[in-house]
């Protein structure tokens, strides 16, 4: 009944948001409008804290002290007395007292003396505004970061441990154990915790420097100056100068992202891994300082010189071997644990049951450094965790499984945590790994010597860093010009990122990039692993309301060369210019049709993915099995260019509308980089 009430309230949320937006535009103070408050018959979070003063009086005091913004007359306490969907991890009086006593090195610290900054820290870290979605219950928890950030735009992480007696305990941000969960209020869910939620205010390099078992990697990070390159947190220019609103693909006014954060992810060998795998001396620490750093550096440098060409003796030079070793561990985006590998529409998977994995899924990320290198992450039912640079030599092409003997390189295991240490920094995450992460010859020649399929979102780290990629709710997010580093577009573009969650669209990972207007846009391609001939393939989301664009390719971003005829996304898959035919049980017929389509520069969708609506995916896009075939085949692949590419080549693709109708949509889903030995090798390319 309570859930029903909260769902009914959602219809009123839009009115409240519109009223708030109007108030902001008028330059008024932020203030909770009490006339719009819903009269609840049960407890709000605020009223519950007030009525249970013996447990929460200190937290209630803090909530009343913290204002919503510098211009606001209303407090967080006022906010939690109004309608909404809030998840609150509330520390008990004992927890607040213990935390303040430890911070200020005193006994029985007076709560009325708490500084504003400390009150802000405690309050904002403890609360998540879930917007129109239900507040988080314990049944929504899984290891890693919660989908929605807290009131300070930081991720809250969940982990589990076993207490004495065999009881499983749930921890928030490593240290705060949930004592009592899932207390439903009329405006949210309360979880009582035994410790104030702590989130590090240190940058990622600083957090690694503070962590006892990552001293060697932290030392190398500082030595190579990569620590200096990972200090950014928020784009202050965007913060105060971005346009507040844009228009979605239907012409409806929507808000632009409020912030543009920078982020980083590091895969880190612990000191023990350095010692066990490479024989590096364990750090000798005196008064918090590593005293044997010279000996450690000499040992590490010798090992790195065996793997990387040493182009400089200066460790800060990116041609230096140690520098190359460090940079291959770093990604220029903040990636939460559960999003390191994206699962959504692969065969046999149901995204509403995310822990039940099926076939392997892959993500390719470009690491930091001038060398332009890719790292491959794999996760599936058979991988026993998330793996870096895993290599399987042979797969069963009926169900995409493989025998244990076919795993030539198992891949490096990424750990979920770090022995209870904090891995969630102000501007990113680090994850410890169980082996040395190296860019050996096996990486480009075996691991990456394959068809590389990447979602368009994988090219745009800002989506991941700012919490938009693979959101577990449907949203249309308008992206203003200049938001992306590697994707430029002119003012005539209306660029919208559609999360696609629950839509049932035939998209690779659910989401899509939908552009209208007189679009003219250019983006940078990721690198290839080795020099050779490659096909560049583009997913073709065909439909009547789509557009047509001329594609360009080249190294000079400002002078790209047109490739092929304009790409018309309005063509039916069955148009003679494409020549698609429905798959039958006759494989010879299907193969002949595949050849005919390739002669026209097209390919069917892969078998790997299907149409997902939350239940188990059983209908592959390759063969829709009774679904509307026209709909399923809307994700054909177009071979847009074939030619020689080097790993050092920086290639750009330009997409320019050739239609006068600005309402037509140009949709981007995924791309493929495919070496010749895959598409024209001894064995035919698999259909997965």
Largest pairwise CA distance in the chain: 81
Q: Where are the alpha helices (DSSP H) in 52-163?
A: 53-65, 76-79, 93-104, 116-126
Per-residue pLDDT at 633: 62
String of DSSP letters for 329-368 = TEESS---GGGSS--SSBTT--TTSTTS--S-EEEEEEPS
Per-residue pLDDT at 81: 95
| CA–CA separation, 374 and 333 (whole Å) | 14
Percent of the chain whose pLDDT exceeds 90:
80
Helix then strand then coil, in percent of the chain rounded to 5, is 25, 25, 50
Q: Which two tokens stand for residue 199?
A: 């989130």
Length of the chain: 688
Q: Residue 468: pLDDT band by 50, 70, 90 thresholds?
A: very high
Q: What number of H helices and E strands is found in the chain? A: 17, 36
> In terms of Cα–Cα distance, which of 612, 660, 662 is closest to 635?
612
| CA–CA separation, 191 and 98 (whole Å) | 19
Whole-number mean pLDDT of the chain? 91
Per-residue pLDDT at 110: 96
**10, pLDDT greater than 90:** no
Residue partners of 589: CB distance under 8 A and separation at least 6: 581
Per-residue pLDDT at 628: 52
Summarised one tens digit per residue, pLDDT across range 551-572 is 999 999 999 999 999 999 999 8
> In terms of Cα–Cα distance, which of 124, 50, 118, 129 is closest to 83?
129
Summarised one tens digit per residue, pLDDT across range 569-622 is 999 888 999 998 888 888 999 999 999 999 999 999 999 998 888 899 988 888
Q: Which range has the worst mean pLDDT, 406-410, 557-561, 573-577, 657-661?
A: 573-577
Name the residue ranges covered by the structural domains of the chain: 2-193, 202-448, 452-679
**452-679 belongs to CATH 3.30.9:** no
* Threshold 0.85, pTM exceeds: yes
**632, pLDDT greater than 80:** no
Summarised one tens digit per residue, pLDDT across range 61-99 is 999 999 998 877 899 999 999 999 999 999 999 999 999
> In terms of Cα–Cα distance, which of 135, 122, 48 is closest to 86?
135
**41, pLDDT greater than 50:** no
SS3 category, 291: coil
Cα 565–Cα 667–Cα 554 angle in degrees, nearest 5:
45
**22, pLDDT greater than 80:** no
Is-contact 261 466, C-beta < 8 A?
yes
**144, pLDDT greater than 80:** yes
The dihedral of CA 196, 199, 201, 205: what is its sign?
A: positive
Place of tokens 């064995």: 683
Per-residue pLDDT at 631: 56
Percent of the chain whose pLDDT exceeds 70:
92
**8, pLDDT greater than 80:** no
- DSSP label of 70: T
Helices 93-104, 53-65: crossing angle, 10 deg rounding: 60
Per-residue pLDDT at 3: 38
Per-residue pLDDT at 32: 46
**174, pLDDT greater than 60:** yes
Summarised one tens digit per residue, pLDDT across range 94-125 is 999 999 999 999 999 999 999 999 999 999 99
Fold matches, 2-193 and 452-679: no
| Rounded average pLDDT over 30-57 | 72
Summarised one tens digit per residue, pLDDT across range 364-403 is 999 999 999 999 999 999 999 999 999 999 999 999 999 9
The CATH label, of 1.10.10.60, 2.30.180.10, 3.40.50.300, 1.10.260.40, for the domain at 202-448 is 2.30.180.10
**2-193 belongs to CATH 3.30.70.3270:** no
Summarised one tens digit per residue, pLDDT across range 426-446 is 999 999 999 999 999 999 999
Per-residue pLDDT at 15: 34
**pLDDT: which is higher, 627 or 88:** 88
Is-contact 597 571, C-beta < 8 A?
no
SS3 category, 591: helix
Is-contact 374 527, C-beta < 8 A?
yes
> Assign residue 58 a region: left if phi > 0, alpha if psi is -120 to 50, beta otherwise?
alpha
Summarised one tens digit per residue, pLDDT across range 514-526 is 999 999 999 999 9
| CA–CA separation, 58 and 216 (whole Å) | 41
SS3 category, 479: strand
Place of tokens 């065909």: 542
């Amino acid at each position: 009944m309570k859930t029903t009430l909260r769902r009914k309230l959602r219809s009123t949320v839009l009115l409240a948001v519109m009223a708030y937006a109007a108030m902001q535009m008028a330059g008024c103070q932020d203030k909770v409008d009490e006339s719009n408050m819903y009269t609840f018959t049960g407890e709000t979070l605020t009223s519950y804290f007030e009525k249970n003063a013996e447990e929460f009086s200190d937290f209630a005091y803090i909530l009343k002290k913290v204002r919503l913004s510098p211009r606001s007359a209303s407090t967080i306490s006022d906010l939690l007395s109004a309608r909404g969907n809030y998840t609150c991890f509330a520390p008990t009086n004992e927890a607040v007292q213990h935390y303040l006593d430890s911070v200020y090195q005193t006994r029985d610290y007076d709560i009325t003396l708490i500084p504003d900054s400390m009150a802000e820290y405690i309050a904002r870290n403890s609360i998540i505004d879930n917007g129109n979605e239900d507040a988080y219950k314990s049944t929504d928890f899984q290891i890693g970061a919660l989908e929605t950030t807290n009131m300070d735009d930081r991720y809250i992480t969940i982990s589990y441990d076993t207490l004495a007696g065999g009881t499983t305990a749930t921890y928030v941000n490593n240290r705060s154990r949930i004592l009592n969960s899932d207390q439903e209020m009329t405006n949210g869910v309360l979880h009582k915790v035994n410790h104030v939620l702590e989130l590090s205010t240190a940058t990622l390099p600083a957090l690694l420097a503070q962590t006892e078992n990552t001293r060697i990697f932290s030392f190398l990070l500082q030595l190579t100056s990569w620590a200096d390159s990972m200090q950014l947190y928020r784009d202050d220019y965007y913060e105060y100068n971005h346009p507040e609103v844009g228009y979605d693909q239907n012409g409806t006014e929507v808000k632009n992202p409020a912030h543009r954060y920078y982020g980083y992810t590091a895969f880190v060998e612990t000191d023990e891994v350095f010692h066990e795998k490479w024989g590096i001396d364990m750090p000798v620490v005196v008064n918090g300082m590593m005293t044997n750093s010279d000996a450690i550096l000499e040992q590490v440098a010798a090992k790195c010189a065996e793997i990387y060409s040493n182009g400089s003796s200066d460790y800060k030079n990116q041609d230096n071997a140690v520098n190359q070793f460090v940079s291959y561990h770093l990604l220029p985006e903040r990636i939460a644990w559960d999003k390191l590998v994206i699962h959504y529409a692969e065969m046999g998977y149901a995204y509403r049951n995310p822990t039940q994995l099926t076939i392997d899924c892959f993500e390719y990320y470009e690491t930091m450094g001038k060398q332009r290198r890719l790292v491959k992450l794999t996760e599936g039912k058979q991988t026993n965790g998330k793996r870096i640079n895993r290599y399987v030599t042979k797969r069963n092409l009926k169900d995409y499984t493989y025998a244990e003997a076919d795993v030539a390189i198992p891949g490096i295991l990424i750990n979920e945590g770090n022995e209870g240490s904090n891995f969630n920094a102000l501007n990113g995450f680090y994850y410890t790994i169980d082996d040395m992460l190296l860019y050996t010859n096996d990486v480009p020649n075996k691991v990456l010597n394959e068809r590389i399929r990447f979602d368009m979102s994988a090219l745009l780290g800002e989506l991941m860093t700012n919490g938009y990629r693979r959101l577990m709710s449907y949203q249309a997010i308008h992206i203003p010009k200049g938001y992306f580093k590697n994707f430029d577009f002119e003012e005539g573009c209306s660029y919208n990122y559609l999360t696609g969650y629950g839509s049932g669209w035939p998209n690779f990972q659910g989401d899509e990039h939908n552009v209208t207007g007189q679009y003219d846009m250019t983006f940078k391609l990721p690198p290839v692993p080795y020099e050779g001939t490659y096909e560049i393939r583009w997913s073709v989301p065909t439909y009547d309301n789509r557009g047509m664009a001329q594609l360009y390719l080249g190294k000079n971003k400002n002078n790209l060369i047109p490739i092929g005829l304009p790409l018309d996304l309005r063509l039916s898959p069955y148009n003679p210019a494409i020549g698609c035919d429905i798959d039958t049980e006759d494989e010879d017929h299907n193969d002949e049709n595949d050849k005919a389509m390739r002669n026209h520069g097209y390919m069917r969708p892969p078998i790997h993915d299907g149409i997902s609506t939350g239940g188990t995916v059983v209908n592959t896009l390759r063969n829709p099995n009774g679904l509307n075939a026209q709909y399923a085949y809307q994700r054909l692949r177009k071979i847009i260019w074939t030619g020689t590419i080097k790993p050092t080549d920086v290639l750009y693709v330009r997409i320019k509308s050739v239609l006068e109708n600005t309402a037509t949509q140009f949709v981007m889903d995924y791309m493929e980089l495919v070496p010749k030995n895959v598409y024209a090798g001894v064995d035919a390319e698999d259909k997965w």
